[in-house]
Amino acid sequence: MQVFQIQDDWGMANLQIAERPRPQPGPGQVLLRMLASSLNFRDLVVPERGYGSFTGTLPLIPISDGVGEVVEVGPGVTRVAVGDRVCPTFFQGWIAGEPDLARMTASLGGPIDGTMAEFMCLSEQGMVKVPAYLSDLEAAALPCAALTAWSALQTHAALAPGERVLVQGSGGVALFALAFAKLAGAQVTVISSSDAKIERLKALGADATINYRTTPEWSKPAREITGGRGFDQIVELGGEKTLPQSLRCIRPGGTLSMIGVLSGSSLATPLGLIITRQVRLQGVTVGHRDGFEAMLRAMEQHRVPVTVDRVFEFAALKDALAYLKSGAQFGKICIRH
């Protein structure tokens, strides 16, 4: 079968198309014919061995998110059947419960081979059936971005109707956070870098928006949107440059869901605000399979839309990654297999 793999040495230049034997499912395993994949920021980090020893060993098939059709099952498989359309879970061993080292290190696309292959063979426990209303490309966008947003707003903080949420940007996690917050009855403010993106965010349901390029000190007008009270939850995707402002507009007792570090990973902010306001700083890295299935039930019930920005062919993976690095996307970047 054809795969994309990082071979010989680390680095984007060593990401190449190669051939591997088609895998065969053993007891409790499932063979998937992959239909589509989608990209996340981590897919730019993995080829450079950015997670150290946790990145895995070479050769490594990258990309964590995708959707496939079950074409063969091994002995004892009961969760899925031939013909089902499923998403592999990002953390293959995190079914439910609290995170621990073992559950959070068995991740697809590094150290476990990822979705950029014609076929994947995985445990039946590491996959979920996807709703029929979603296309292959839309379903491929779910495992990391959607579940991260769901975990932030529902699993960790249980967002309630009428609460106020601030979301940063218009990438995959941000748009899913906007959709799930609206689903919960929240009032949502989104900050973005362009007026064109802001118009699209309004069309997707954003109650208020701020252009952070024309208003660099966006925390003050953001707080004014809440009548001075502050936000109940902030989906923090920027990191180094945005966290100080997020701390200025979160309410006392509010939750800052720390998800991304797109503007840098160093911390230089007055920590006293976290203490004196009793702010909860919650790190979020995707989530478990039970959360994924709960999210899918909600999505199917309400036909939650998925925004796909651009679609690339399998052989154009490097072009897709370059586009991801540009930051120009609105929604998810997908790969058609």
* CATH code of 120's domain: 3.90.180.10
Say whether pLDDT at 64 is over 70: yes
Domain-located, residue 152:
no
> Rounded distance, CA 140 to CA 213, Å?
31
CATH number at residue 255: 3.40.50.720
**12 and 131 co-located in one domain:** yes
Predicted confidence band of residue 23 (pLDDT cuts 50, 70, 90): very high
Averaged pLDDT for residues 266-273? 67
243, 236 Cβ separation under 8 angstroms: yes
How distant, in Å, are the alpha carbons of 13, 18, 53, 201 from that of 312?
19, 18, 30, 24
Domain-located, residue 126:
yes
Write out pLDDT tens, residues 31-58: 999 999 999 999 999 999 999 989 999 9
> Rounded distance, CA 41 to CA 24, Å?
31
How distant, in Å, are the alpha carbons of 139, 210, 225, 247, 252 from that of 218?
34, 7, 11, 12, 19
77, 115 Cβ separation under 8 angstroms: no
Say whether pLDDT at 265 is over 70: no
**212 and 311 co-located in one domain:** no
Say whether pLDDT at 229 is over 90: yes
Nearest alpha-carbon partner for 167 in 214, 207, 217, 220: 207
Q: Are strands 65-73 and 280-283 parallel, antiparallel or unpaired?
A: unpaired
Domain-located, residue 274:
yes
**195 and 266 co-located in one domain:** yes
Predicted confidence band of residue 177 (pLDDT cuts 50, 70, 90): very high
Say whether pLDDT at 142 is over 60: yes
Q: At what angle do helices 172-183 and 289-302 cross, to 10 degrees?
A: 60
Number of structural domains (the chain) is: 2
What does the pLDDT read at residue 238? 78
260, 96 Cβ separation under 8 angstroms: no
Nearest alpha-carbon partner for 63 in 98, 102, 27, 34: 34
Domain-located, residue 299:
no
**240 and 171 co-located in one domain:** yes
Instruction: Pick the range with the lowest mean pLDDT from 139-143, 189-193, 234-238.
Output: 234-238
Domain-located, residue 75:
yes
Q: What is the DSSP-derived secondary structure letter of residue 153?
A: I
Domain-located, residue 288:
no
Q: What is the DSSP-derived secondary structure letter of residue 294?
A: H
**6 and 97 co-located in one domain:** yes
> Rounded distance, CA 36 to CA 40, Å?
14
Domain-located, residue 123:
yes
The residue segments making up the domain with residue 47 are 2-142+307-336
Say whether pLDDT at 262 is over 80: no
> Rounded distance, CA 331 to CA 44, Å?
17
Nearest alpha-carbon partner for 123 in 150, 92, 100: 92
What does the pLDDT read at residue 268? 61
Strand 231-236's sheet: what is its strand order? Answer: 208-211, 187-192, 164-168, 231-236, 250-258, 280-283
Instruction: Give me the percent of the chain exceeding a pLDDT of 90.
Output: 90
Nearest alpha-carbon partner for 204 in 307, 106, 54, 59: 307
**119 and 244 co-located in one domain:** no
**Residues near 50 by beta carbon (within 8 Å), at least 6 away in sequence:** none
Average pLDDT, the chain: 94
DSSP-assigned states of every residue in 179-200:
HHHHHTT-EEEEEES-HHHHHH
**332 and 260 co-located in one domain:** no
Averaged pLDDT for residues 15-44? 97
> Rounded distance, CA 79 to CA 319, Å?
36
> Rounded distance, CA 283 to CA 152, Å?
9
Q: What is the DSSP-derived secondary structure letter of residue 217?
A: S
